[in-house]
């Protein structure tokens, strides 16, 4: 009876450890997402405001010349190229995100390997 109780206690401890690993991974993913989104929103806001003001400054500076339309077109092209590049970088960042529950899966794999019958 003590052997069965000891065996069950061991399994409960293993399951408890795995649940704790899962909860830590969920928390890490939540924090990663919060930080990433906060940085993305803050950067987008700051860059947008700065670019709008810079564009306005340059357009007002060249308003009385024939260069105002090429300047506006140039800014539009720069913004489009920058937007496409940043969108591609953001997409790549999302693809490179760490897999959720990877540590849990690795630990469960180790558990399975240690419990499976060993054939010589």
User: For the residues 10-23, what does the mean pLDDT come to?
Assistant: 82
- 12 lies in some domain: yes
Percent of the chain clearing pLDDT 90 (strictly above): 8
pLDDT of 47 higher than 90: no
In a domain, 112, yes or no: no
Cα 102 from Cα 14, distance rounded (Å): 17
For the stretch 81-102, pLDDT in tens is 988 998 899 888 888 876 766 7
How many separate domains does the chain show? 1
Per-residue HEC secondary structure of 6-61 comes to HHHHHHHHHHHHHHHHHHHHHHHHHHHHHHHHHHHHHHHHHHHHHHHHHHHHHHHH
Q: Please report whether residue 118 resides in a domain.
A: no
Q: Which domain holds residue 101?
A: 2-107
pTM, 2 dp: 0.49
């Amino acid at each position: 009876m003590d052997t069965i109780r000891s065996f069950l206690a061991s399994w409960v401890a293993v399951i408890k450890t795995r649940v704790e690993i899962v909860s830590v991974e969920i928390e890490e993913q939540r924090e990663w997402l919060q930080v990433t989104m906060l940085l993305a929103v803050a950067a987008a806001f700051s860059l947008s405001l700065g670019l709008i003001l810079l564009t306005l400054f340059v357009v007002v500076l060249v308003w009385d010349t024939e260069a105002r339309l090429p300047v506006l077109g140039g800014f539009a092209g720069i913004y489009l190229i920058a937007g496409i590049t940043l969108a591609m970088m953001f997409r790549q960042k999302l693809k490179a995100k760490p897999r959720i529950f990877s540590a849990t899966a690795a630990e469960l794999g180790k558990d399975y390997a240690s419990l499976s019958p060993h054939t010589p």
